[in-house]
C-alpha cells in the first residue's frame, strides 16, 4: 500500500501544477495518468515543422504563470509572439478584414456597417439583463446583432469551438458579465475595471503578452513531469473509495494507494466514471458537460505558394459565411522555429459545436477540405509539403446554460467529502493560464486542509 498526503489523478496541466506545488512545499504526493504528462498539451517536431496537438500558446495574464515559468527554469526557453500577433482577421464576404482593436480603427473598418457602429454607441444606455442569459442574448442586447454575428460568433468558435446561443455568459465569460453587473455596462466597465485588475496584479487579455516555448507548449508539462520524477506514475486509476483518514485508490497496474487528499484532475466524463459508487448524482452532473469534437489540421507550404502576407495571428470564420473551417492560425509567423526557412505553417480547426460531423472524415478527407478552403481565402497554389492531423473526439468543455448549477453540485460533492478536490478545465476557465491560476489556488486550499488534518 502506497501512503501519501495527496493523490492527483490526471497529468494534464491542472494536475501537474497541483502535484508540483504540493511536492515543492514538502508534501508526499503521487500523480497518476496512463498517458505522458501534458494531457492535451503536446508538441511535435517533424520535417522541420513544429506543430501543437493542443493549445498553441498562452497569455501571460497573471503572476502565477510568470512565477511557474521561472521556478521551472524555463525562462530561457520562453518566447513571446511577434507584434504581428496583435493583428487578427475576420472573414466576411470572401475577404479578410482586420478586427478593429481601437476606437479609430472601429470607426474606419469595413467589417461592420455604419448601422452597427451607430448601434454600439447606445451601449452605455442599455439596461441590465435577466439572470441566466446566453452569451448571444447578452451581446445582442448590449451591442447588436451584427456585432454578435461578426465578432462574438467567430470568437466563440475559435476559443470554445462553441455556439454563443448555447453558452452561459455568467459561466463562460464571467469578467464580461461582471462589467455589466458591477459597472452597468461594457464600455464603462472597461474604463473603470482597469483599476481593479491592477490591484490583482492581472493584465487584461487584450494587453497580455502571448508566449510559448522554443520546443513548443509541450515543454511546460514535460518539465513539470520531470520535476515530479518518481512521483509521477504511468498508471490508470480504476476505482476509488472513501475510508477513514482519506481515500483508497486502485490502479489498472494493481497498485493500491491511500491518500489523505484526492484531486481529480481529469476530464468530466473520466471523473464521472470514478465517482459513480461514491455519488451517482454528482457523477451524472459531470456526464452532462458537453465536449464537442475538434480536428486540428497543420499544413506546411513553401512561402511562394501562399499569396496572403500572413501578417497577423490568423483569421476566424463567422457562421454566417457558411464555411467548413472555424479558423486558422498563421503559426509560423507567431513564433520562430515553427517552419523551415522559406516555408510557412498554418494550423486550421474544423468541427466543434458548429459542424461536429466534419470530424468523422478521414485525415485525408479533412486535410483536402481544409486545403481547398485555405486556397480560396489565402490564395494558395499547389499541395502542402507537410501535413499533420489531430482529432479530439472530446475537445473543449462547454460552459452552457446549466453549467453553474452543475458546478454548484460539484461543490456540494467536495463539501460532503472533505479532502476531495475537482480541478480541471470545466471549472474556472479553459485556457492554459486559467488552469495554472486555478491549480495554484487549489494547491493552497489543500495545504490549509493538510495543516488542520
Residue 113 pLDDT: 96
Q: Cell 492535451 sits at which residue?
A: 40
Mean pLDDT along residues 219-242: 97
Cα 191 from Cα 179, distance rounded (Å)? 10
Rounded to the nearest angstrom, the gap between the alpha carbon of residue 409 and the centroid of all alpha carbons in its chain is 23
Spatial strand order of the sheet with 325-329 comes to: 95-98, 88-92, 314-316, 325-329, 343-351, 294-302, 386-392
Cα 106 from Cα 104, distance rounded (Å)? 5
Q: Domain 2-40+219-290+399-451: what homologous superfamily?
A: FAD/NAD(P)-binding domain (3.50.50.60)
Is residue 17 over pLDDT 80?
Answer: yes
- Given pLDDT bands bounded at 50, 70 and 90, which one contains residue 195? low
pLDDT single digits (tens) 178-189: 999 999 999 888
What is the total residue count of the chain?
A: 453
Q: Is 376 exposed, middle or buried (0-12, 13-18, 19+ CB in 10 A)?
A: exposed
Mean pLDDT along residues 180-200: 79
Which residues have a Cβ under 8 Å from the Cβ of 428 and sit 6 or more positions away?
434, 437, 438
Cα 195 from Cα 137, distance rounded (Å)? 28
- Percent of all residues in the chain with a pLDDT value above 90, rounded to a whole number: 90
Is residue 361 over pLDDT 80?
Answer: yes
- Grid cell, residue 52, equals 501543437
Mean pLDDT along residues 315-323: 98
Residue 198 pLDDT: 64
- Given pLDDT bands bounded at 50, 70 and 90, which one contains residue 232? very high
pLDDT single digits (tens) 24-77: 999 999 999 999 999 999 999 999 999 999 999 999 999 999 999 999 999 999
Extents of the domains making up the chain: 2-40+219-290+399-451, 57-97+206-216+292-395, 102-199
For the stretch 224-248, what's the b/e string if a residue is b when 16 or more beta carbons lie within 10 angstroms of its beta carbon?
A: bbebbeebbbebebeebebeeebbb
Residue 452 pLDDT: 87
Mean pLDDT along residues 310-332: 98
- Given pLDDT bands bounded at 50, 70 and 90, which one contains residue 176? very high
Residue 207 pLDDT: 77
Rounded to the nearest angstrom, the gap between the alpha carbon of residue 87 and the centroid of all alpha carbons in its chain is 20
CA separation, residue 361 to residues 315, 358, 387 (Å): 23, 6, 15
Residue 202 pLDDT: 61
Relative to beta strand 386-392, strand 314-316 is unpaired
For residue 133, report the phi and psi dihedrals to the nearest 5 degrees: -70, 145
Domain 57-97+206-216+292-395 listed as CATH 3.30.465.10: no
Q: Which residues pair with 294 in a beta bridge?
A: 351, 392
Q: Residue 376 is inside which H or E element, if any?
A: helix 363-378
Higher-confidence position of 190 and 196:
190
pLDDT single digits (tens) 252-304: 999 999 999 999 999 999 999 999 999 999 999 999 999 999 999 999 999 99
Residue 190 pLDDT: 83
Mean pLDDT along residues 429-446: 98
Is residue 425 over pLDDT 70?
Answer: yes
Is residue 199 over pLDDT 80?
Answer: no
Q: Which residues pair with 27 in a beta bridge?
A: none
Cα 19 from Cα 439, distance rounded (Å)? 9
Cα 85 from Cα 329, distance rounded (Å)? 10
Residue 393 pLDDT: 97
> 241: helix, coil or strand?
strand
- Given pLDDT bands bounded at 50, 70 and 90, which one contains residue 194? low
Cα 75 from Cα 82, distance rounded (Å)? 17
Q: Class of the 102-199 domain? A: mainly alpha
Average pLDDT value over all residues in the chain = 95
CA triplet 399, 18, 218: central angle to 5 degrees?
80
Q: How far apart are the first and last CA of the chain?
A: 20
Is residue 416 over pLDDT 70?
Answer: yes
Which residues have a Cβ under 8 Å from the Cβ of 286 and sit 6 or more positions away?
268, 269, 271, 272, 275, 406, 410, 426
Residue 118 pLDDT: 94
Q: For residue 149, what is the DSSP state? A: I
Contact between 226 and 78 under an 8 Å Cβ cutoff? The reply is: no
Cα 4 from Cα 256, distance rounded (Å)? 11
Contact between 316 and 90 under an 8 Å Cβ cutoff? The reply is: yes
Cα 346 from Cα 217, distance rounded (Å)? 16
Amino acid at each position: 500500500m502506497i501512503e501519501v498526503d495527496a493523490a492527483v489523478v490526471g497529468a494534464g496541466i491542472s494536475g501537474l501544477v497541483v502535484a508540483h506545488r504540493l511536492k515543492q512545499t514538502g508534501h508526499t504526493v503521487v500523480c497518476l495518468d496512463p498517458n505522458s504528462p501534458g494531457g492535451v498539451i503536446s508538441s511535435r517536431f517533424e520535417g522541420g515543422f513544429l506543430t501543437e496537438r493542443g493549445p498553441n500558446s498562452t497569455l501571460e495574464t497573471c503572476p502565477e504563470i510568470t512565477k511557474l515559468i521561472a521556478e521551472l527554469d524555463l525562462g530561457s526557453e520562453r518566447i513571446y509572439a511577434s507584434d504581428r500577433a496583435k493583428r487578427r482577421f475576420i472573414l466576411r464576404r470572401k475577404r479578410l478584414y482586420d478586427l478593429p482593436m481601437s476606437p479609430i480603427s472601429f470607426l474606419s473598418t469595413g467589417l461592420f456597417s455604419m448601422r452597427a457602429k451607430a448601434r454600439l454607441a447606445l451601449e452605455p444606455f442599455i439596461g441590465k439583463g435577466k439572470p441566466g442569459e446566453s452569451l448571444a442574448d447578452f451581446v445582442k442586447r448590449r451591442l447588436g446583432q451584427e456585432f454578435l454575428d461578426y465578432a462574438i460568433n467567430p470568437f466563440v468558435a475559435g476559443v470554445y469551438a462553441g455556439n454563443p446561443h448555447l453558452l452561459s455568459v455568467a459561466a463562460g465569460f464571467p469578467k464580461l458579465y461582471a462589467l455589466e453587473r458591477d459597472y452597468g455596462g461594457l464600455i464603462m466597465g472597461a474604463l473603470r475595471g482597469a483599476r481593479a485588475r491592477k490591484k490583482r496584479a492581472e493584465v487584461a487579455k487584450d494587453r497580455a503578452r502571448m508566449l510559448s516555448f522554443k520546443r513548443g507548449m509541450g515543454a511546460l508539462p514535460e518539465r513539470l513531469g520531470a520535476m515530479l520524477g518518481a512521483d509521477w506514475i504511468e498508471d490508470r486509476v480504476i476505482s476509488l473509495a472513501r475510508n477513514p483518514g482519506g481515500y483508497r485508490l486502485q490502479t489498472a497496474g494493481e497498485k493500491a494507494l491511500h491518500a489523505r487528499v484526492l484531486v481529480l484532475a481529469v476530464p468530466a466524463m473520466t471523473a464521472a466514471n470514478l465517482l459513480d459508487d461514491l455519488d451517482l448524482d454528482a457523477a451524472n452532473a459531470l456526464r452532462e458537460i458537453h465536449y464537442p469534437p475538434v480536428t486540428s489540421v497543420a499544413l506546411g507550404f513553401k512561402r511562394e505558394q501562399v499569396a496572403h502576407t500572413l501578417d497577423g495571428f490568423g483569421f476566424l470564420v463567422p457562421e454566417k459565411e457558411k464555411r467548413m473551417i472555424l479558423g486558422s492560425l498563421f503559426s509560423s509567423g507567431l513564433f520562430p522555429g515553427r517552419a523551415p526557412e522559406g516555408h510557412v505553417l498554418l494550423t486550421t480547426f474544423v468541427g466543434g459545436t458548429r459542424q461536429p460531423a466534419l470530424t468523422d472524415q478521414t485525415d485525408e478527407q479533412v486535410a483536402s477540405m481544409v486545403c481547398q478552403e485555405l486556397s480560396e481565402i489565402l490564395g494558395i497554389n499547389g499541395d502542402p509539403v507537410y501535413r499533420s492531423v489531430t482529432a479530439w473526439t472530446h475537445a473543449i468543455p462547454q460552459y452552457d446554460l446549466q453549467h453553474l448549477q452543475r458546478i454548484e453540485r460539484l461543490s456540494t460533492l467536495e463539501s460532503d467529502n472533505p479532502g476531495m478536490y475537482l480541478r480541471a478545465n470545466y471549472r474556472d476557465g479553459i485556457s492554459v493560464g486559467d488552469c495554472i491560476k486555478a491549480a495554484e489556488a487549489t494547491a493552497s486550499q489543500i495545504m490549509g486542509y493538510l495543516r488542520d488534518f
